[in-house]
Amino acid sequence: MQTLAQHLQQQAIPESLTQLLLTLADTSKSISQAVRHGALAGILGATEQENVQGETQKKLDVITNDMLKDALQASGHVRGLASEEEDYVVPVSDAGEYLVCFDPLDGSSNIDINSLVGTIFSVLPALQGELTEQSFLQSGRQQVAAGYVLYGPSTILALTVGKGVSFFTLNPDSGAFLLTQDDVQITKDTAEFAINMSNQRFWEAPMQTYIADLLLGKIGPREKSFNMRWIAAMVGDVHRVLCRGGIFTYPTDNKNPEKPYKLRLMYEANPMAFLVEQAGGKATTGYQSILDIQPEAIHQRVAVILGSANEVDTCLEYHAEDYSGDEPTL
Ligand code: F6P
Ligand code: MN
């Protein structure tokens, strides 16, 4: 089986990008170790700190953020980094060719119940000039690589460098990431959806109607039964979509009018949208392709609908019917 390093050598990408991706993969091995030690290492539970978004940080959020930060600072290829757990962008090295955005431990509410968590990353080109937040505000189409590492029963790296999606499984004996699936393709059609149903009453009208029609099954307009899954870690839900198709959404809601969206554009939506498009799927807010969004702030949040192309198109038709030129007010 091909190792990650061998696979990257064949991709016709700059050596600096290969080295950066190997650094990210190596760090994820250490994160995998830390996660697996769980209570034995005394690293479960919350800290007393909040991140800039007002969320209580778990101990493992902080530990994994520091692990990635240290590794990227030592890599020599990183101009700056932005993390869900850092208030501001972090300048790294003037000579670095890349910017890295990451969610060090996605789904961290799953940590304490020994369920799926993962690391998500996005690599952008570094632009000339002083490093500021502005340097990071590039659309998802500018990404040169993106991926996630899922810490599940096995540790799996899903990666794209813009030439399709590959899965690598960590061999716990040798410590190598080995290519276990190349050219991952999301099925065009699906009968499985993923949404946090407890927010139903807060969604905007098109999503209400769309999900109601799925729930009607064979007697409804879709004339087929749908199954539902919700892992509460985007990384786990997106992995399932890449493996067997599906539609995943965290839509606009008015639960908290000051926070109509949950997922972060730079650390979650963009890298996952890049992977999904590279695997033949679609990723949208309901009104615009995720990858076309011009970011306005590093911690910006967006509505996300992604997965099997035909199902996302169907969901978009519900949105188009209600669309009058502006995103609907809730
Ligand atoms: O990072 C945000 C996140 O944890 C995602 O990984 C996940 O999809 C979502 O939030 C879960 O949200 P909720 O707790 O509302 O189900
Ligand atoms: Mn997350």
User: Given this model, what pLDDT does residue 308 score?
Assistant: 99
Q: Quick check: CB of 55 below 6 Å from ligand 1?
A: no
Ligand nearest to the CA of 104: 2
Say if residue 127 is exposed, middle or buried (CB neighbours under 10 Å; 0-12, 13-18, 19+). Answer: middle
Please state the length of the chain: 330
Say if residue 265's pLDDT is above 80. yes
CB of 301 closer than 6 A to ligand 1? no
**pLDDT confidence of residue 108:** 86
Whether the CB-CB separation of 110 and 233 falls below 8 Å is answered with yes
Whether the pTM exceeds 0.75: the reply is yes
DSSP for residue 25: H
Q: Name residue 283's beta-bridge partners.
A: 306
Contact 81, 90 (CB under 8 A): yes
Of 161, 17, 145, 142, nearest in space to 78 by CA: 17
Q: Using one digit for the tens of pLDDT, what is the confidence trace for 90-126?
A: 999 999 999 999 999 999 889 989 999 999 999 999 9
Per the prediction, the chain carries an average pLDDT of 95
Q: Average pLDDT in the 294-304 region? A: 98
Q: Cα separation of 85 and 220, whole Å?
A: 43
CA distance 167 to 119: 14
CA distance linking residue 56 with residue 226, whole number of Å:
35
Residue 330 to residue 320: CA distance in whole angstroms: 16
CA distance 56 to 44: 13
Are residues 329 and 323 in contact, defined by beta-carbon separation less than 8 angstroms? no
Domains of the chain by start residue, with CATH: 4-181 (3.30.540.10), 192-322 (3.40.190.80)
- Output the CA–CA distances (angstroms, integers) from residue 215 to 205, 208, 250, in the order listed: 15, 11, 17
pLDDT recorded at residue 309: 98
> Whole-angstrom Cα distance, residue 103 to residue 264?
9
pLDDT at residue number 327: 57
Query: Cβ(239) to ligand 1 under 6 A?
Result: no
Which atom from ligand 1 is nearest to the alpha carbon of 108?
4
